[in-house]
Amino acid sequence: MSKTPEVLIVEKHTEALHRGFHRWPEMGFAPPALGDRRWTPELILSTWVQAETGALPTGDLEYRTGHSGGGFDRLDFKFLLESEWLPPDTPIDTSLSLNRRPYDPRIKIPVPWYGAGMSYGSVSEQVMLARAMAAKQWNTFTSTGEGGYPDSLIPYQDHVITQIATGMFGVREETVQRARIVEFKYAQGAKPGLGGHLLGDKATVAVAKMREAVPWVSLFSPFPFHSVYSVEDHRKHVDWAKTIAPDALVAVKVSTPTDVDMVAVGSYYAGAHILQIDGSYGGTGAAPEIAKKNIAMPIEYAIPKVHRYLLGEGIRDEIVVMASGGIRTAYDVAKAIALGADGCILGTTELVALGCTRCSNCERGRGCLFGLTTTDPELSQLVDPAWGAERISNLYASMQSQLREVLRRLGLRSARELRGRTDLLVYRKSDQS
């Protein structure tokens, strides 16, 4: 049977796009309008290479840092002399245990990262599916974000975190019950203190149905949880989740205010297993521009603050600290761990692996012409979930191998040994790339 024009159109553009993702890194120059100071053109192209091949670029494309002039881009590692590196065949453990409490199920992931919450509505179902498939392949996790739990994710439920955010969109008893990890989103780095934004353009009929909202009406999540005004209220939330899903671990996602260290301690005493601190330079489907740069601190400053405070309180080894909001590369992951995080949470990086050019049009209904941050039925067909899963999986493979190489050159046998080792870092007066 011959294919319809609609099918042929999708095939034509998908093939051309995939060709483009392959060709650009080899062309010797980047698209002139690509990238920005945080995600430089080279960083985007080298991520495309890793997503395609599972390995680093063979040329001299920069793959470690950007040009932001601060934070991770100013930090480097003090590698040992080559003669002191661990032998190449040394087994190096990159795994991370997500439960440090003496109770509740043990969950271990083979890499110190998992996927960030990106809601149905902010991204397409195909993208969610691709991320879930990759999470399953790697025995790690991805998060639903706050837009509900599409049925297509159920086969991957052991690797999908159910997020409960302030809008409670699509949160149902069964979606909480099926999760091994339940994540409370108190705040988001890109718009701290402001709640989620889904502009009317993206609240399609399907999205609105999932969120039990009115189609084509902008959805602004409240802030904060109107049931939480204290650590005690926070504890009540955790108890509520544990009542519904007794075996689930509880993650808490917060932003990075001045008192992020106190917030961390509060989350610990409320019973959280995982604390996600989301720095101010993180990704978003839509946020006021004023919030992205100006509210709350970048993750590079928040990690050591939280780590040291938890150490001082004697509870550091009872809670897992995950850093997010501006983690782009394996080197960023390693630096975040050296600053004091246990692991990282990746969002934008995964989208770049799927072809994101960081054009910042994600807030519009048909803004993302790569089919990523859209629920437009036509555009979202550009991402085949199996293809997407392969790209993310390849990126993970490359990142894991880079992390192992960093550890090997530092003489460490596990990522756990790197945690809080700021003595292995060096601060440069100019960007590293």
Partner 1 sequence: MASYSRYHIPSSPAPNIAPHPRRFRVRVNRVQLARLILAELVHYRGNLPVVLSRPCVYGVFSGPIGGFAPRPHRCVGCLRCTVQYPEIVQIIPNPGRMRLGDSYFTPDIVDTVLYEAATGRVPVRGAGYRGSFGGEGWDAMWTDMSEIVRPTRDGIHGREFISTSVDLGPRPDFLTFDSSGKPAGEALRLISLPVPFIFDAPPLSAESANLYRALVASADGIQSLAVVPLRRALDQGLTSASVVPLVRASEVAALSDLTPQPPLNGKGAQRAFRMIELDGWNEAAYRALQQSYPESLICVRLPFEEEVTPLLRQGVRLFHLTADYHGRAGKAFILEAIRSAHERLVAEGLREQTTLIGSGGIVAAEHAPKAIICGLDAVALDASLLIAVQGRFRGECLDRASAQVEMPSFEVAWAAQRLMNLAASWRDQMLEILGGMGLREVRRLRGELGRAMFQAELEREAFAGIEGYA
User: Rounded to whole angstroms, how far apart are CA atoms 312 and 304?
Assistant: 12
Supply the minimum distance, in Å, between the C-beta of residue 270 and partner 1: 11
- DSSP assignments along 12-49, one per residue: HHHHHHHHHHHHGGGSSS--TT---SSS-HHHHHHHHH
Supply the minimum distance, in Å, between the C-beta of residue 418 and partner 1: 14
Tokens, residue 150:
């599409």
Which one, 29 or 103, has the nearer CB to partner 1? 29
Burial class of residue 294, CB neighbours in 10 A (0-12, 13-18, 19+): exposed
Which one, 170 or 285, has the nearer CB to partner 1? 285
How many angstroms separate the Cα of 125 from the Cα of each of 120, 130, 168, 202? 6, 9, 19, 13
Supply the minimum distance, in Å, between the C-beta of residue 127 and partner 1: 14
Which one, 170 or 420, has the nearer CB to partner 1? 420
Tokens, residue 411:
């003489």
Which one, 35 or 92, has the nearer CB to partner 1? 35
The answer to whether 127 and 356 have CB atoms below 8 angstroms apart is no
Contacts (Cβ under 8 Å, ≥6 apart) of 89: none
How many angstroms separate the Cα of 104 from the Cα of each of 1, 99, 318? 54, 8, 12
User: Rounded to whole angstroms, how far apart are CA atoms 332 and 425?
Assistant: 12
Supply the minimum distance, in Å, between the C-beta of residue 247 and partner 1: 27
Which one, 24 or 113, has the nearer CB to partner 1? 24
Tokens, residue 276:
């996600």
Residue 429 neighbours by CB distance under 10 Å:
5
Supply the minimum distance, in Å, between the C-beta of residue 241 and partner 1: 17
Which one, 25 or 54, has the nearer CB to partner 1? 25
Which one, 213 or 295, has the nearer CB to partner 1? 295
Q: Which helix (H) or strand (E) holds 239?
A: helix 231-244
Q: Tell me phi and psi for residue 49, to 5 degrees.
A: -60, -50
Which one, 136 or 420, has the nearer CB to partner 1? 420
Which one, 209 or 428, has the nearer CB to partner 1? 428
Strands 142-143 and 113-115: unpaired
User: Rounded to whole angstroms, how far apart are CA atoms 76 and 167?
Assistant: 40
Supply the minimum distance, in Å, between the C-beta of residue 212 and partner 1: 19
Count of alpha carbons within 13 Å of 256, Cβ hemisphere only?
Answer: 31
The answer to whether 266 and 290 have CB atoms below 8 angstroms apart is no
Supply the minimum distance, in Å, between the C-beta of residue 319 and partner 1: 16
Q: In 3-state terms, what secondary structure has residue 275? A: strand
User: Rounded to whole angstroms, how far apart are CA atoms 430 and 328?
Assistant: 19
Supply the minimum distance, in Å, between the C-beta of residue 108 and partner 1: 29
Which one, 5 or 91, has the nearer CB to partner 1? 5
The answer to whether 99 and 249 have CB atoms below 8 angstroms apart is yes
Supply the minimum distance, in Å, between the C-beta of residue 311 and partner 1: 14
Supply the minimum distance, in Å, between the C-beta of residue 221 and partner 1: 7
Residue 424 neighbours by CB distance under 10 Å:
21
Which one, 114 or 225, has the nearer CB to partner 1? 225
Supply the minimum distance, in Å, between the C-beta of residue 433 and partner 1: 13
Q: Tell me phi and psi for residue 306, to 5 degrees.
A: -70, -45
